Amino acid sequence: MALLADPDAPTEIAQRMARTLPDRLTDKSGQARRFDVEVVSEPFTSGTEDPPTLMRRIMDRGSAENWDIVVALTDLPLHSHGRKLAVNLNHERGLALLSLPSLGGLRLQTRARRAVEEAVLGMASPQTNGAEGTPRSQPLPGPSVNRLAPSYPRQTDEKETDDLRYVVSGPRGYLRVLAGMVRANRPWRLVPGLSKALAAALATGAVATVNSTVWTLAASLSTPRLVIATVGSVAIMIGWLIIDAELWHRATESSPEARQRARLYNASTVVTVGIGVLVCYVGLMVINWVWALFILNDQAFAAVTRTPLNAEEYLTLSWFVASVATVGGALGSGLESDDAIRAAAYSKREQERRHRLQDNHND
C-alpha cells in the first residue's frame, strides 16, 4: 500500500506514521496479513480541490504503480455537496482520500494514524454483501469515526470515484475544520516572518518606555482601559496585515458553497493572523518589562507621576507600551513584502491555492 501525501505537513505526518503503521495494521487485521507501506510525497491536489477529480488522480496513480491500497493525505479543506469532507472511500479500488483539517487541531498525528488504519482495514476486509456484490456502507470499524463527530456516512452519486464518504457538519464540525486549517497554517511562523514589523515595534517600545508622557498615561490608566488598548492595538495589527497583504479571500463564484468556503478561509486567516499577533504582543510586553527594569529610575518616575515605581507600575507600563508598540509594528509591517507575509501566514498548499485563484481572477 502507499501513503500519497501533499508536500510539507502531510508528508511529515505520513513519514512518521509509516514507521509503525505496518506492524499496527498486521496486529489489527487478525488475518496474519503483511502490510508494506510506501510514502510518496507529491502535490496531487495541485490546481484543484474537487474531490471526484482528486479521487481520479489517486486512481490513476495507484494503477500506474500497481498499488493495492492508496491513502492520500492533504491539508486542504475539501467540500462535498455543501458539507466539509473528512474521508472519501472507494472500496472496490482500494482508494481513500483524507482531509487532515477535518481531524481538528489537536493530536493530529494520532488522529490521522487511526483514521488511516481504519480506512485501510476497512478496504482490506471483505467488501461485499450477499451475491449482488454491493459495496458495504456501514461505518469504518474502530473509534475514530466517532471522534470525528459530527460525521456520518453517505452514499454518493459519483460511483466511479467513491462509494462512501464521511462529512463533518454542524457548529462542532465547523470549529474542528477551522482548528485544523489554523494548525496547517502554523500561526507561530508569523512571528519570525514579520521581522521588519517586529523591528519597528521594538523601536517604538524602547522609545515609549523612556518617555515621561507615556509614564503619566500608563499610571493613570485603569485595567479596563488597558484591556481596551490591547484589543484595539491587536485589532489594528490584524486588520492592517490582512488588508495590506491582501489576505482576504473573495469567492470567485456566486454559489452558496463558494461563499461558505470563502467564509471558512477568511475565518482561518483571521484566527491564524490573530494568534501570531497575540504571540508578538506577549513577547513585546515581556521585552518592554525587562527593558523598563533595566533603564527606569524610580526617583525620576516618581517625580513625574507622583507614584512610586513598584512591581504594579512596571507591569502597567510594559502593558501599555506593548499596545503602543503593536501599533508601531502595524505601520512597520508595510515594509514587508506581501509574499513574505503570505508565506508566514499560510501553509504551502494554501499559498498555491491562493496563487492559482489569483491567476484565474487576473485571467
Q: At what angle do helices 311-332 and 212-220 cross, to 10 degrees?
A: 120
What is the reported pTM? 0.78
Eight-state DSSP code of residue 90: E
Which residue has cell 457538519?
169
CA–CA separation, 152 vs 150, rounded Å?
7
Task: Answer yes or no: are the C-beta atoms of 190 and 345 closer than 8 Å.
Answer: yes
Reported as a single tens digit per residue, the pLDDT across 172-206 is 878 888 888 888 877 877 777 777 788 888 999 99
Reported as a single tens digit per residue, the pLDDT across 87-105 is 888 888 889 999 998 888 8
Residue 176 grid cell: 474542528
Q: Coil, helix or strand for 356?
A: helix
Eight-state DSSP code of residue 333: G
Domains in the chain (CATH in brackets) are: 2-124+162-175 (3.40.390.10), 187-360 (no CATH)
Residue 125, pLDDT > 80, answer: no
Task: Answer yes or no: are the C-beta atoms of 72 and 98 closer than 8 Å.
Answer: yes
CA–CA separation, 145 vs 153, rounded Å?
9
Reported as a single tens digit per residue, the pLDDT across 203-253 is 999 999 989 899 999 989 899 999 999 999 999 988 888 887 778 877 666
CA–CA separation, 44 vs 50, rounded Å?
12
